[in-house]
Structure 1
Amino acid sequence: MSTYQHKDFPSHLYSRHRPTYSDDLFDLIYAWHVKTPGARTTTPAAFETAVDVGCGTGQATVALSGKFGKVYGLDFSEAQISNAVKGDNIEYRVGSSSHIPLPDKSVDLITAAECYHYFEKKEFFKECKRVLKPNGTIAIWGYAEPYVSGRPDLQPEFKRLFFEQMGPYWPRGFEIIANYYRYPPLPFGKVERLDWPHKTLPDYVRVHHWTLQDYKNLMSTWSGTKFLADLAQSTPGIAHPGDEHIAWLQKELGIPDAEFASKDIELGFYHCLILAKNDDSPIPEEPYDDLSGVKVLKGRWPGMVSLGGTRWWVDAPEINVGKFL
């Protein structure tokens, strides 16, 4: 069961304290949807129906509702759905990425924001190919490691927290977003990706003016935090490494205790966007979701992943992926 399915998962905090997405992100997706031809069709793109898979509390869903006639938000967590942002042309449904409850060839755009790494990939792609219209678009994006704007000297400690100290507590699938969706490849003929920080494009996951308290609140929504809290009930002495990290950051930035919840810092996130066009490209037979080859010793990255007979070296702290024989 996913962390977000737990009835005591703080979905109200998730809605309140998660990073948000800029209008520029959606404008780019819409432009790509219209201007980029599919590999094997000349059918024009449309803005009739969109599906936000893994919608959570509707951060991306509500943005889509301003462009599409009908938007479906799909999530397997009733807690998330109950706290989702409402809209006249939005319909939320409890479901999964493996079963999109819509007719064949009825959808123009499918989005997956900060959730694709937890999907059953092969089943998700099958559903995308089934429900998307010819020339329909898939837009997948995610973020992971935080950073403080203008302070690259702090990044080694952010990496240590996110990949090393929290490493043992992230759920299965984290290794995919840790490498910013560089694997497995998407089974479509037309695929493009963008990575941030970008040389010319603004951040699409917003750089937030947050306090240290806001940053701490964000940590409370991490799936690894929920796992840690459950583990601490049976294993005394376990502490969230984020507490030490926050204290270190407060000292480095020279923020007094009196301004812990009032002084803003610019906090951004490394992120990526992948865009693809629906076509009849076959879905490979290799086990997209077999991550049994991942080796993480005491939470330290890199790990080694074997996918479909190809061995991948996963070097999350440096955000690099390379094949080796």
Structure 2
Amino acid sequence: MKDNFSKQASEYSKFRPEYPDEMIDYLVSFVKNKGVALDIATGNGQVAHKLSRFFETVYGVDISQNQLENAIPRENIIYKVASAENTFFKNQEFDLITVAQAVHWFDFDLFYKEVCRILKPDGIFAVIGYGLFSTNEESDKIVKDFYYNIIGPYWDAERKYLDENYKTIPFPFDEIVVEPFENKLTWTFEELIGYLETWSATQHYISKNNQNPLDLIYNDLKASWQKSDKKVTFPLLLRIGKLK
């Protein structure tokens, strides 16, 4: 499992969009017992803290201590450092296991073997994520040029799974057909730039070139943003399954 996000953990916590309550409510509706849930690669605890409203105990694990230090605290959430493919939990411990915007970084075979070990026989497993956002036409053109051309060569190979809406990841579970969801937000220009800066390819570009690629689009993007309605829409990705 790669760790692309420790360096900008505080920015990640500040600028990454949260998942809407309606999607979390929908996911939890498939879970029979609300005892113990696990959010793997929890990052700043976005999903873990939403699950804490429903479950007696929620664990959030991540390989990045920096991320966990920026995680949202709740009395019934326990944050621990652990890799997705090799956790310290007992067999058949969890009613729900989630992984949000991270499964593409894992060794699929090892990860799914671990999920099958620690998920209860009647438990639910869910992969969550979001694709490339859309916004006003002018800003969209600038962002897509940035995404595909300026930082395109700096994306890790695993990014393709997100571009393919997680439809091409291995998913060795009895899959449940789910409703589609979107996340609609209104962003300031600072929030837009802050989010683009959390992209792993942006960080790879900075490391390789000692220059922030956002400087190349900053003025044009700001001009387009100031005259727009500042709305963004993320397509949400959701796959839910049970043990076979």
TM-score, structure 2 as length reference: 0.91
The 2-side partners of 1:138 and 1:217 are apart by 31
Report SS of the residue matched to 1:55.
Answer: coil
Letter in 1 for 2:93: S
Q: Distance in 2 between matches of 1:103 and 1:227?
A: 37
2:151 matched residue in structure 1: 166
Q: How does 1:114-263 map to 2 (within 5 A)?
A: 114-148=101-135, 151-152=136-137, 155-196=140-181, 203=182, 206-233=183-210, 239-240=212-213, 242-255=214-227
Deviation at 1:130, TM superposition (A): 0.7
Indicate the RMSD between aligned Cα atoms, in angstroms: 2.1
Measure how far apart 1:153 and its partner are.
Answer: 6.5
Work out which of the two has the higher radius of gyration on C-alpha atoms and give 1 or 2.
Answer: 1
Counterpart CA distance in 2 for 1:217 and 1:82 is: 19
Counterpart of 1:269 in structure 2 is 234
Alignment TM-score, normalising by the size of structure 1: 0.69
User: What is the CA–CA distance in structure 1 between the aligned matches of 2:142 and 2:99, rounded to whole Å?
Assistant: 29
**1:193, CA displacement in angstroms?**
4.8
Other structure's SS at 1:207 match: strand
Separation (CA, whole Å) in 1 of partners of 2:150 and 2:229: 25
Report if the CA contact (8 A) 2:98-2:125 is conserved: yes
The AA in structure 2 aligned to 1:220 is: E
What is the CA-CA distance between 1:169 and the residue it aligns to? 1.2
Distance in 2 (alpha carbons) for counterparts of 1:140 and 1:173: 15
Partner in structure 2 of residue 90 of structure 1: 77
Number of equivalences? 243
Q: Check whether the contact 2:202–2:212 (CA below 8 A) recurs between aligned residues.
A: no
Query: What letter matches 2:188 in structure 1?
Result: T
Name stretches of at least 5 consecutive residues in structure 2 with no aligned partner.
Answer: none
Aligned to 1:4: 5
Q: After the TM superposition, which residues 25-44 of structure 1 pair with which residues of structure 2 at under 5 Å, given as runs?
A: 25-33=23-31
Q: Identify the structure with the greater helix proportion.
A: 2
Q: Which has the higher mean CA deviation after the structures are superposed, 181-190 or 57-66?
A: 181-190
Unaligned runs of 5+ in 1: 34-44, 197-202, 256-262, 280-325
Superposition deviation, residue 154 in structure 1: 5.2
